[in-house]
Amino acid sequence: MAASFAEPPVTDLVRIDVAVHGPAVHVTAAGEIDSSSAPALKRCLEAVLAGGPAQLTIDLRDVTFLDSAGLCVLAAAHRRTREQDVALRVLAASRAVVRPLQITGLWQLLGAEQVEAADDDAIVA
């Protein structure tokens, strides 16, 4: 993949890590995703998708807050993965993430999976 992720985006609210495993990319966010931190996640996902992965996992297990700005970023990622025929997985553990996804209907649209916070087996594709 052509994109480089040597410097993962970090704001005061969220840390985003990217791991590339062949054609699969795993993006992990930790912290709060709101209107001030969602742009960092958006830029990261856009860069990842520009690299043409076959599979993208967005791991939100360590996200403690998710508002409408973060939901919009996830909806845009879903739209782009569908356009590019990229398999998308979204992992969530906390009520702070699961509930907003469920209320908005994104839970079903994204095919999100509720996993335990320490369930490392869940990230294996």
Residues 18-35 have pLDDT tens digits of 999 999 999 999 999 999
User: Does 101 fall in a domain?
Assistant: yes
CATH number at residue 53: 3.30.750.24
Q: How far apart are CA 89 and CA 77, in angstroms?
A: 11
Residue 117, pLDDT score: 79
> Considering its fold, how many domains does the chain have in total?
1
**pTM score of the predicted model:** 0.86
Contact, 96 vs 120, CB < 8 A?
no
- Orientation angle between helical segments 38-50 and 68-84, nearest 10 degrees: 10
CB < 8 Å & 24+ apart, contacts of 91-96: 91/57, 91/58, 91/59, 91/60, 91/61, 91/115, 91/122, 91/123, 92/60, 92/61, 92/63, 93/60, 93/61, 93/62, 93/117, 93/119, 94/61, 94/63, 94/64, 96/63, 96/64, 96/65, 96/66
Q: Which of 37, 35, 36 is nearest to 14 (CA)?
A: 37
Is 5 a member of any domain?
no
Q: DSSP alpha helices (H): ranges in the chain?
A: 38-50, 68-84, 95-104, 106-110
Q: Is residue 87 part of a domain?
A: yes
Does residue 2 have a pLDDT over 90?
Answer: no
Residues spanned by the domain of 90: 14-115
Instruction: State residue 12's pLDDT score.
Output: 79
Q: Is residue 34 part of a domain?
A: yes
Q: What is the DSSP letter of 6?
A: S
> pLDDT (tens digit, 9 = 90+) per residue, 71-97?
999 999 999 999 999 999 999 999 999
Question: 93 lies in a domain?
Answer: yes
Is residue 97 included in any domain, yes or no? yes
What is the average pLDDT value for the chain, to the nearest integer?
Answer: 89
- pLDDT of amino acid 118: 59
Is the per-residue pLDDT at 51 higher than 90?
yes
